[in-house]
Chain A
Amino acid sequence: MQKVQSKCAIELKGITKTFGKVVANDDINLSINRGEILCLLGENGSGKTTLMNMLSGIYQPDGGEIFKDGEPVAIRSPRDAFDLGIGMIHQHYHLVDVFTAAQNIILGLDDGKMDLGAVNEKVKEICDRYGFDIDPKKKVYDMSVSQKQTVEIVKVLYRGAEILILDEPTAVLTPQETDKLFAVLRNMKADNKAIVLITHKLAEVLDVSDKVAILRKGKYIGTVDTKTATAQSLTDMMVGRSVKLNIDRPLYSNPKDKLVIENLTVVDGEGIKKLDSVTFTAKSGEILGVAGIAGSGQKELLESISGLYPIMEGSILFNGDDGSQIELVGKTPMQIRNIGVGMGFVPEDRLGMGLVGSMGMTNNMMLRSWRHGNGMFFNKKAPQALAEKVWDELEVVTPSTEFPVRRMSGGNIQKVLVGREIASKPPVLLTAYAVRGLDINTSYAIYNLLTEQKMSGAAVLYIGEELDVLLELCDRILVLCGGKVSGIVDARNTTKEEIGFMMTTVGGKGGKE
């Protein structure tokens, strides 16, 4: 039979996947078409990544069938997926740092020979065709995040993929890099490739996609044409009810300087400057946003203030309510926290810092108070009471206060953490990636909590990655670039483009990750 390229590349019928008692995908039906960009939208834990992992051969479906060009297929391994022309670009890149782009691209291909010259040719050809900008001879460790992503995409195309799945590709990109990526995706679409984009960001969905498929709690809700959709209509479908999509940004009447940071410089274990003469002031009654490409010094800034990172130079002054000034540099994390600098949200991996995954809410509350209690025994009463209060007030979904937080959903884990931190009403609240991986509904709940803290007079530091949110939530935005302060702007009078430019450029010099 002659192979006719039908419009429908992949069809999923009744796909079901369970993990223990959790049904990750429940009877999902979905068509992926050639020459189209399909966005897969859903709240956290709605089963988007699981579904795509079944297409790329990482998981096996427990029920249902997958059709490629009308033929039923079984995808048992990533290799099977490649053979079928399905390529997935994961959130975390799988590249060998010391290899060049070209070496990484052919890694794992066994066609008998290794003619790097020919490989370079072919890579160049792919790049020209879709508008990638990449040097095949460049080593991966010399590349920026966006270049690494490009290598991943070219790697998949090199293997002849005609169906590309990208899992949250824009999470680590600047607005400019995102635009570039979308231009490439549009070129691929014109070349009759089928593209699936997993993302949380509604603005991007509306910008780039042709169709949007929506999942909610593992169930397939429906597919809509992007032309007929709005941010509000998509959110309502995702959440299952109407959600208010704007952030109140009241002005605090009497802001005071709370945290005065001057010439803060830190170096990492290899002597590389992670923060370079950082100077700024955080005020009470204000949310100060911190923007920057991933790895521009956000984590180090946060850890330096909380006393977890060795400081080479500079000072961090905390202004008490009574007019006293306390130097935080040189204090232990415990002392700093007792002074009133709370760390709200946990960077990168929420359980890695701030919470203990295997313990329940009560024992996690105790992280703040374990030193209290008589003699060598701890006192469980106060943390127990706090756990019950947080459980109740923040509507944490958990069977009991002893249920391991690791097994809660991301949003609930976040609530446990923020509940504990704001319980002591800290004058300074540090937050990083507060809503990373959270669904829209929970994100807005968190924004409201932060605004409440601000209006009660706390100085809130908000390290974020979504510029749209930074612009809506914060009062001022500090932009970091390569460990330097690129500038501080008024969030009410700036644009995404301005911040995007500052993220990559300090005083006219091109910044790098």
Chain B
Amino acid sequence: MTNESKTPLIRLAKRDAMDPKKVWAIRIGSIVVALILGMIPILMAGKNPFQSYGIMISGALSKPGYIRQTVKKAIPLLGCALAIAPCFKMKFWNIGAEGQITMGAIFASFISINLASHIQSRFIVLVLMMLAGALGGALWAFIPGFFKAKYNTNETLFTLMMNYIAIGIVRWLQGGPWEGRPGTQIIPMFPDNARLPNVFGVYCGWIIVLVLVVLVHIYMNYTKHGYEVAVIGDSLNTARYAGMNVGWVMMRTMLLSGAISGVVGWMLVSGANGTLNSDVAGGVGFTSITVAWLSQLNSFAMIIIASILAIIDKGSATLQTKLSVPASVAEIVSGILLFCMLGCEFFINYKLIFRGKKDKEVQA
């Protein structure tokens, strides 16, 4: 059988649409694989992997206090994933949510620092901060949107670079105009009337993002705007032919996306942190890309994915403190989990065929 031995050991073949049950089996399987692979760095750090995983889970969910902290981590992830979903649907690769969050946070902080003391009503201050945050994020997103629409610039690089500018501005504010005690490089905590109230022990941002889930879902699936976004994402020429003003839709969608990111920024300063610092976005803008992608831009699926990522995040933080595992090991474990979760999409779209097993499909 010289013929047989010459065929490649492993071949790839594109799959047809897969049974949804199988899809979820693969996704869950990928998490199992990730947990097994994750044991390697834990073992190398000299710890018991089963105990470590137990601590990760219990550290995220076992006590109300832990759950609150996990929810706190999930809120910005979910909000930001909702923000970038319309852009990604349009195939506009907005990876600048980080900067848009930061800009929203700056604008919201401006209200808190300059106006909060003059206004009595907490409600008015918070609404003003939210609007300012939305404005800041929208403005920051509009710039790359405008240049993409008018001059077809590369939105990926553009939005990425805008992130660093926004973060740089916060650094300057921290050390300059908004610095609290000279030399501290810290902006003082906001007054109470600029802080979001807690509901069930977590700042009420979670209610806001859940409302946003529904609004974004309706926007994407039932409105003319959402339809335009979907058509443009599939085919620019078709959109033009259908009479859509592609440039304007791009700018409008970026304005909306940035506004939602800006609102997330406002919730972070006003709710989670109570003040502004240069680490306000803290990678949320990037991690939320994973959330949006894994949930295939479905707003409701984002709730689940954002929760899973928050559990991993909180769990590995607990792992660090409880077992005194180095921070880097915890990060490696969560990295492996993310890698496997994203990687398994490959096996959902393709199948592997091994040499000699011509008739058998090999599952991932």
Contacts and interface: CB of A to CB of B under 8 A. Distances in A.
Contacts of B2: 72
B238 interface: yes
Contact of A378 (B13, B15, B222): B222
Contact of B234 (A63, A343, A357): A357
Interface in B1-53: 2-3, 6-8, 11, 13-17
Contacts of B231: 356, 359, 367
B235 interface: yes
Contacts of B358: 62-63
Interface string A63-79: 10100000011101000
A306 interface: yes
A353 B235 CA distance: 7
Given A19-B13, A19-B14, A308 B240 contact: yes
B14 A357 contact: no
Contact of A343 (B223, B241, B353): B241
A377 B13 CA distance: 41
A378 B224 contact: yes
A351 B227 contact: no
A370 B3 contact: no
Given A63-B358, A76-B6, A363-B227, A356 B234 contact: yes
A376 B243 contact: no
Interface majority SS (helix, strand, loop, mixed), chain A = loop
A73 B4 CA distance: 9
Interface in A304-356: 306, 308, 332-334, 337, 343, 351-356
A253 to B, nearest CB: 33
Contacts of B224: 370-371, 373, 376-378
A60 B8 contact: yes
B35 to A, nearest CB: 30
B167 interface: no
Given A72-B3, A74-B3, A20 B15 contact: yes
Interface in A4-25: 19-22
Interface string B209-239: 0000000000000111101101100110110
A354 B238 contact: yes
A358 interface: yes
Nearest to B5: A74
Contacts of A377: 222-224
A356 B222 contact: no
A337 B243 CA distance: 9
Contacts of B353: 62
Contacts of B222: 377-378
A60 B7 contact: yes
B221 to A, nearest CB: 10
B238 A356 contact: yes
A356 to B, nearest CB: 4
Nearest to B16: A20
Nearest to B7: A74
B199 interface: no
Given A308-B241, A370-B242, A358 B234 contact: yes
A360 to B, nearest CB: 12
A366 B3 contact: no
Interface string A280-299: 00000000000000000000
Contacts of A366: 227
A355 B230 CA distance: 12
A368 interface: yes
A446 B223 CA distance: 34
B228 A370 contact: yes
Given A377-B224, A378-B224, A74 B6 contact: yes
A74 B4 CA distance: 8
Interface residues of B, number: 29
Contacts of A354: 238, 241
A397 to B, nearest CB: 17
A376 B256 CA distance: 15
Interface residues of A, number: 38
Contacts of A356: 230-231, 234-235, 238
A376 B222 CA distance: 9
Contact of A352 (B13, B16, B235): B235
Contacts of A19: 13-14, 16
Contacts of B14: 19-20
A356 B14 CA distance: 22
Contacts of A370: 224, 227-228, 242
A332 B243 CA distance: 7
A353 B241 contact: yes
Contacts of B223: 376-378
Contact of A65 (B3, B11, B16, B17): B3
B16 to A, nearest CB: 3
B235 A351 contact: yes
Given A63-B358, A373-B224, A377-B224, A353 B237 contact: yes
Contacts of B225: 376
B234 A334 contact: no
B346 to A, nearest CB: 15
Interface string B320-364: 000000000000000000000000000000000100001000000
Nearest to A407: B17
Contacts of B6: 74, 76
A308 B240 CA distance: 8
A252 B138 CA distance: 58
Nearest to A66: B3
B222 to A, nearest CB: 6
Nearest to A379: B224
A248 to B, nearest CB: 31
Contacts of B15: 20
Give the residue among B228, B234, B240, B242 with the most A Cβ atoms within 10 A.
Answer: B242
Contacts of A74: 3, 6-7
Contacts of A363: 227, 230
A367 B235 contact: no
Interface of B: 2-3, 6-8, 11, 13-17, 222-225, 227-228, 230-231, 234-235, 237-238, 240-243, 353, 358
Given A60-B8, A370-B242, A371-B224, 9 more contacts: A76-B7, A333-B243, A334-B242, A337-B243, A353-B241, A363-B227, A367-B231, A376-B225, A378-B223
7 contacts: A19-B16, A76-B7, A308-B240, A351-B238, A359-B230, A377-B224, A378-B224
Nearest 4 A/B pairs, CB to CB: A20-B16, A334-B243, A74-B6, A353-B237
Interface of A: 19-22, 60, 62-63, 65, 72-74, 76, 306, 308, 332-334, 337, 343, 351-359, 363, 366-368, 370-371, 373, 376-378
